[in-house]
Amino acid sequence: MVSPSGGGKSTMTKRLLEDFDNLKFSVSATTRPPRKGEIDGVHYQFISKDDFRNRVENNEFLEWEEFYNGTMYGTLRKSVENELEKGYFILLDIDILGALNVKKIFGDDVLAIFLAPPSIDILKERLEMRGTESEETLKTRIERAQKEMAYAGRFDNIVVNDDLQLAYNQLKKIVSTFINS
Ligand code: 5GP
């Protein structure tokens, strides 16, 4: 599942994991520092740039990307494979290009969902309210979101997060159909 940041992805991720026992969250690695409340190994594996680069060299990532002023994010091959072996479905909360790469690798075994904010203005409001971004990163994130919206059509499903409950119901139905098919 992807969404421009501030699109409501964390809330949706949390609820999906609560509702589907056979769904596991893939903990990505990142070089950015933890935000308040984020726990190492739960939300991300917070690692140094050197460590990240070593893991890239060792082919430990299914996909990885560098953005937001050099911050790196990557999906760890091992954590995905371990859960798949146990028979779980994996929920990836990654950026759009990363998701399209994963879709390219796994094809129909991947359900790619684009969670869209109702508008860029609303997205900006949400990010400002969240209060986790400096003026500069806020601007970068908005610009990135504008570009990202153009990719929505490449996803299997688009869910517009206008009303949280309605959007979640829609999302739950899509995921349930995929998991049970
Ligand atoms: P944040 O810093 O807000 O946690 O995440 C910023 C962006 O990085 C989000 O769009 C998030 O989905 C994406 N992201 C998180 N983990 C990964 C990953 O492993 N790979 C890729 N490509 N993007 C990721």
CATH of the domain at 118: 3.40.50.300
- Confidence (pLDDT) at 46: 98
For residue 2, is it within any domain? no
Per DSSP, what are the bridge partners of residue 73?
Answer: 30, 65
For residue 163, is it within any domain? yes
Q: If 0-12 CB within 10 Å is exposed, 13-18 middle and 19+ buried, where does residue 98 land?
A: buried
Name residues of the chain where pLDDT drops below 50.
none
For residue 4, is it within any domain? no
Q: Cα(148) to centroid of ligand 1, in Å? A: 13
Ligand 1 atom nearest residue 101's Cα: 22
For residue 3, is it within any domain? no
For residue 165, is it within any domain? yes
- Confidence (pLDDT) at 131: 78
- Confidence (pLDDT) at 6: 62
For residue 39, is it within any domain? yes
Residue of 56, 93, 100, 137 best suited for mutating to test ligand 1, as the one with most atoms within 8 Å of CB: 93
For residue 146, is it within any domain? yes
- Confidence (pLDDT) at 125: 86
Query: Tokens in use for 104?
Result: 């390219």
Q: Cα(100) to centroid of ligand 1, in Å? A: 13
Q: If 0-12 CB within 10 Å is exposed, 13-18 middle and 19+ buried, where does residue 16 land?
A: buried
Residue nearest atom 15 in ligand 1 by C-alpha distance = 94
For residue 57, is it within any domain? yes
Residue nearest atom 10 in ligand 1 by C-alpha distance = 95
Question: How many structural domains compose the chain?
Answer: 1
Q: For the chain, how far is it from start to end, CA to CA, in angstroms?
A: 18
pLDDT in tens, 29-58: 999 999 999 999 999 999 999 999 999 999
Q: What are phi and psi of 179, to 5 degrees?
A: -65, -35
How many angstroms separate the CA atoms of 114 and 161, rounded? Answer: 10
Query: Tokens in use for 47?
Result: 């690692």
Does the beta carbon of 65 sit less than 6 angstroms from any atom of ligand 1? yes
Does the beta carbon of 93 sit less than 6 angstroms from any atom of ligand 1? yes
Parent domain of 40? 9-179
Q: If 0-12 CB within 10 Å is exposed, 13-18 middle and 19+ buried, where does residue 167 land?
A: buried
- Confidence (pLDDT) at 68: 66
